[in-house]
Each structure stands twice: as structure tokens, then as C-alpha cells.
Amino acid sequence: MAETLAIAKHMLRKKERNDILDNNYCRYTTDDHDTLPDWFVHDERRHNKIILPITKDEVTAIRYNLQMIKAADPRKVAEAKIRKKIKAR
């Protein structure tokens, strides 16, 4: 969940979104390994990993935010929303 939110955060900008989408189309997307030797296929699976444009710090920050949201008391959140609606009137 945190990795998905971090990638979504990067995809808000058009240039970064285009870069992420362009990096997904490469010569390694097809699995035509019928004629290749087994050792080569095994080596390719081990080393051809998708490199995401996010850092561990971003993921941990988003994880922390998600934990804080989950830890919030639902009653207090509901009361705050009601107070906000009353003030808006």
C-alpha cells in the first residue's frame, strides 16, 4: 500500500508519469524463453527486477502516515468533521 501511494505521488507530475510509463515498455517484458538455456533464464529472472523511482525514506514516511491514520480514534475524527461542518455554515 505504501509503495503504491509513493508511486502514485510521483505520477502526479506529467514528466515523471511519462517516464514511469516509458520505463515499463522494454525488451524484457516478453517471456520468450523457450529456446534459451535454463541457466540463462534463471539468471535473467534473478537480475531483471523493475527499479521503482521511489526511495525507502518515502515509503517509510507514507507507512508512518498510514499508521497514524489507522490509530486515530474514529469517534474523534467524526466529531471533528461535524465541528467543521457547523463552522462552515
pLDDT in tens, 49-71: 777 778 889 889 989 988 888 88
The pTM for the full model equals 0.51
Q: Which domain holds residue 16?
A: 2-88
Q: Which of 7-16, 31-40, 70-79 has the lowest mean pLDDT?
A: 31-40
Give the residue among 54, 36, 56 at the shortest CA–CA distance from 45.
36
Count: domains in the chain: 1
Which cell numbers hold the place of 76? Answer: 474523534
What pLDDT score does 30 carry? 63
24 vs 83, higher pLDDT: 83
